[in-house]
Amino acid sequence: MQRSPRLTAPLPGRLALALLGLGAAGCTGPLSPPQYLAYLADPAHGLTHTREANGIRVTCSYRPPDLLVSQELAVEEASPTPARLDSLRRTYAGKLYCALALSRDSTELEQGVIRDAAALEQTISYLSTGIARDVYLRGLGQPDSVAALAASYARQYGSTGRSTVLLVFAAPRLDARQGFTITYRDTHFGLEPLRFVFTRQALDKLPALRF
């Protein structure tokens, strides 16, 4: 499974690898990390949504804080104590995390401009930082939305078939389980605004993650 460091420091590229699902999973009780990723990735569970616009496929997936906690514990390669688990959960609390994956013809977007150095640099810069200004979070029933606090992106050089960004939102007063909407108002790829709705029903059914 992919791993990530804490968000108390600037977001390094490898944090963006807390992104990929492994297929559908259906089980009850706490899930193992691979099962948990598979559950999140299954569109039937309502926590991963895909839209297409201007020839680009855009997938938005919810990334619960416990997933990032689990990945940090995997980096440490030690059985977590209750105190360590509580400490990490506090580190990731007050924020909401989503992965945004973009592809054209099943390839990463930067592959389409690989021979144009200027366009390639602009695309990487946008995915690494600029995209955060274009993605907004709004709690369902709430009047206001907030732009992403940060974006983390790591190039995969054609190995995944999509350009995937981990987006972090400051949401200290948002109860994610009540439902929320992610809106992507692209300013780089010529896409129309895209909305991804994560319902209370889908979030309530999310199983616990086994540590």
The predicted-structure confidence for 115-168, as pLDDT tens digits, reads as follows 889 999 999 999 999 999 999 999 987 888 999 999 999 887 767 899 999 999
3-state secondary structure of 38: helix
3-state secondary structure of 138: strand
Domain boundaries, the chain: 13-204
pLDDT of residue 8: 36
Enclosing H/E stretch for 94: none
The predicted-structure confidence for 64-86, as pLDDT tens digits, reads as follows 999 999 988 888 877 888 999 99
What distance, in Å, lies between the first and last C-alpha atoms of the chain? 14
Tell me the C-alpha distance between 98 and 18, whole Å. 10
Question: What distances in angstroms separate CA 151 from CA 108, 137, 164, one per listed residue?
Answer: 17, 13, 10
Enclosing H/E stretch for 204: helix 200-204
- Model confidence at 173, pLDDT cuts 50, 70, 90, reads confident
Count the residues in the chain.
211
The predicted-structure confidence for 5-30, as pLDDT tens digits, reads as follows 344 333 443 344 444 443 334 456 89
Beta bridge partners of 170: 95
Sign of CA dihedral 203, 92, 26, 159: positive
| Among candidate residues 135, 147, 148, the one with its CA nearest the CA of residue 184 | 135
